[in-house]
């Protein structure tokens, strides 16, 4: 090596590597490009649009006879569906299956692709030989995943409201408490003026639940070797716990299950929001989130990247 070349090499010293925060920032700058560049990222939006269209059509043709009977037992007397079915009613009710089934599936798949999928494709090792801490990489991916979950939630709720209001107008929101698992019988009425706040609150709360699922999915994704393995495992765990949640004789277990708290956004459509219960759920969700994320970071750091 000649003198000048040696100087050239040492004159431009490479940076000292990135801190955890620097790593998060570096990941944030590009992870969304990767996310948006993949076609599969857009499939959930199409599915949501299709499902919501279908729901609107069903609401249009359905007569809601059993529902009217239900409301009657809660001493709310409606003559026809026109008295309670409106855009808000449709949105609140459609949110139940959307947030219990669809969005969890989409979040699980996206997070499976984010780490295990990259391990499968070999790009994970290309990322990890860069001078950024593994925890920074994981946190950056988690942030993007939360953003994705929020985008899906907002898209679903906005489209539901748009379709619902366009077809059925607005009005007060009537709900049957048992359907929304408020822990009480009877029915609720939220005045039309208050519904906007309730939907915003419900969207944020539900997304918080999705963030917990995202953390769990990322934990599994960072240990699995293939994307398929990651999201099959995640969804198995999620639906297994959801099944436990539905077993009546296991109700002593409910307060400890994360799905209980993930579903707590339903409180937002109760006549008087139980603020205390919402705080309890927020604390639980936060604890689950921190636990899943720290486990993911510790285990991912120790993991040998063999793919």
Partner 1 sequence: MPLSEPLLETRGLTKVFRRRFFGSGSKHLVAVDNLELTVYRGDVFGFLGPNGAGKSTTIRMALGLIHPTQGSVHIAGRDLADGTRAALAKVGAFVERPAFYPYLTGRKNLEIFAGLSGGVSVRELDEALDRVGLSKRADDKVAVYSHGMKQRLGIAACLLPRPELMILDEPTDGLDPHGIREVRELLLSLARDDGLTVFLSSHFLGEVENLCNRAAIMDHGQTILQGALDELEREHRRLRVETGRPAEAAEFLRGKLGLEPRLVDGQRPALYFALKGARAEDVNALLVQAGFAVRALTPEPAWLERIFLERTTSKESNVARKAEA
Binding site for partner 1 (CB under 8 A): 1, 5-6, 8-10, 12-18, 22-23, 26-27, 29-30, 33-34, 37-39, 121-123, 125-133, 137, 302, 304-306
Nearest to partner 1 of 16, 79 (CB atom): 16
Tokens of 85: 């079915």
Distance CA 190, CA 197 (A): 11
Name the packing angle between helices 192-221 and 275-302 (round to 10°): 20
Least distance CB 33 / partner 1 (angstroms): 7
Distance CA 87, CA 166 (A): 7
Least distance CB 44 / partner 1 (angstroms): 17
Nearest to partner 1 of 39, 272 (CB atom): 39
Nearest to partner 1 of 79, 302 (CB atom): 302
Least distance CB 18 / partner 1 (angstroms): 6
Least distance CB 307 / partner 1 (angstroms): 9
Give Rg (Cα) of the chain: 23
Distance CA 56, CA 52 (A): 6
Nearest to partner 1 of 251, 304 (CB atom): 304
Nearest to partner 1 of 166, 305 (CB atom): 305
Least distance CB 140 / partner 1 (angstroms): 10
Nearest to partner 1 of 137, 173 (CB atom): 137
Distance CA 190, CA 296 (A): 41
Least distance CB 15 / partner 1 (angstroms): 5
Least distance CB 235 / partner 1 (angstroms): 24
Nearest to partner 1 of 129, 246 (CB atom): 129
CB atoms within 10 A of CB 73: 11
Q: What are the φ and ψ backbone dihedral angles of 173, each rounded to 5 degrees?
A: -100, 115
Q: What is the dihedral of CA 216, 103, 141, 243, to 10 degrees?
A: 10
Q: What is the dihedral of CA 4, 6, 7, 12, to 10 degrees?
A: 130
């Amino acid at each position: 090596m000649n003198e000048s070349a040696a100087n050239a090499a040492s004159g431009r010293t490479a940076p000292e590597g990135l801190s955890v925060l620097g790593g998060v920032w570096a990941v944030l700058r590009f992870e969304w490009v990767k996310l948006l560049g993949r076609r599969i990222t857009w499939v959930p939006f199409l599915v949501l649009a299709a499902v919501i269209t279908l729901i609107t059509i069903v609401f249009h043709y359905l007569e809601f006879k059993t529902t009217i009977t239900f409301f009657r037992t809660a001493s709310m007397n409606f003559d026809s569906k026109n008295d309670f079915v409106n855009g808000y009613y449709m949105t609140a009710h459609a949110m139940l299956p959307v947030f219990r089934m669809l969005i969890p599936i989409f979040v699980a798949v996206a997070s499976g692709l984010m780490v295990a999928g990259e391990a499968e494709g070999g790009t994970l090792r290309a990322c990890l030989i860069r001078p950024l801490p593994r925890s920074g990489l994981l946190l950056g991916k988690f942030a993007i995943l939360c953003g994705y979950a929020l985008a899906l939630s907002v898209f679903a709720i906005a489209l539901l409201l748009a379709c619902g209001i366009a077809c059925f107008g607005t009005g007060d929101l009537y709900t049957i408490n048992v359907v929304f698992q408020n822990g009480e019988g009877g029915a609720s009425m939220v005045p039309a003026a208050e519904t906007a706040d309730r939907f915003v609150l419900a969207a944020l709360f539900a997304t918080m639940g999705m963030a917990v699922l995202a953390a769990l999915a990322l934990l599994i994704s960072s240990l699995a070797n293939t994307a398929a393995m990651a999201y099959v495992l995640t969804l198995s765990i999620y639906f297994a716990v959801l099944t436990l949640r539905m077993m009546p004789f296991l109700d002593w277990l409910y307060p400890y299950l994360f799905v209980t708290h993930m579903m707590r956004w339903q409180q937002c459509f109760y006549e008087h929001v139980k603020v205390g219960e919402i705080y309890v759920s927020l604390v639980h969700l936060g604890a689950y989130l921190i636990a899943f994320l720290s486990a993911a970071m510790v285990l991912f750091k120790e993991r040998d990247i063999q793919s």
